[in-house]
Amino acid sequence: MTISTSETASMATELMFVYAHHKLPGVSDGEWVEYYRPSGTNRLRQDLTSYLSRLLELFSTSYEYGEYFAVAEFESLLESLDENEIQVFKLALRTECRDEALEELSPLTIMAGLEAVILHRISTGDLVEIRLALELFDSIMKSAIECVMYDNPRSYIRLETAAEFAPWFMDGLLEAVDPDARRTWHFDAYRTFVGETLQPLKPLLENLSRAVHQPGWPRDDLALGRFLLIVDYFKRNVEEPWTS
């Protein structure tokens, strides 16, 4: 999403940012950044539904990691569901599984039900419910891949305001363009690509990073608009080329 300069005058600081990162060595890795105005709730719901369903399928059916989802302990995640969500959960199961005790269901069957709950929470359009949906998604991923002892696979997603998102996002970009940091063990091919792509912008990133760390940022739409320029540059020159 790109917002024109003329539109920034009315968006104030109400934008919501989605940030997702996944690393499935040998299968897929990358970042997804997007931002939404309050009027863009439908697009937010559609984007999250598509992304989360795709990632769950990608992780759970991959040759390298599918077995971890098949034996994961998802039962504890059912404790967070309310009565209505338990019904959503059961309706997503195969007919023959709906009368079984929850603790007797297979991990993959539980995951299918939890995915339905995630999508139900997103469908409400309520930001609190959407955040709960993302937390449940992260918990599914953590439960399945935390026992993998190699390659450090991971996945997480956040929904934040500009003030919450910008400081740590800028910190990550500055780390990526730091030549010394790129020589450390955690700099894989993707992070190296990020650093090399953004290296020419290092002075601009440093100046903007100082700004977004100031208390009360963003104070106006002009300040937020400067940050959006960096986000759009990242999407166009890092996210899209890497995932295409």
pLDDT tens per residue across span 133-150: 999 999 999 998 887 777
Give the Cα separation of 199 and 179 in Å (integer).
9
Percent of the chain with pLDDT over 70: 92
Q: How confident is the model at residue 9 (pLDDT cuts 50, 70, 90)?
A: very low
Taking the model in full, what pTM does it have? 0.88
Residues in the chain: 244
- Note whether 177 and 195 are within 8 A (CB): yes
Tell which residue, 103, 111, 97, has the closest CA to residue 143: 111
pLDDT tens per residue across span 90-115: 999 999 899 898 889 999 999 999 99
Q: What angle do CA 36, 38, 41 make, to 5 degrees?
A: 70
Percent of the chain with pLDDT over 90: 65
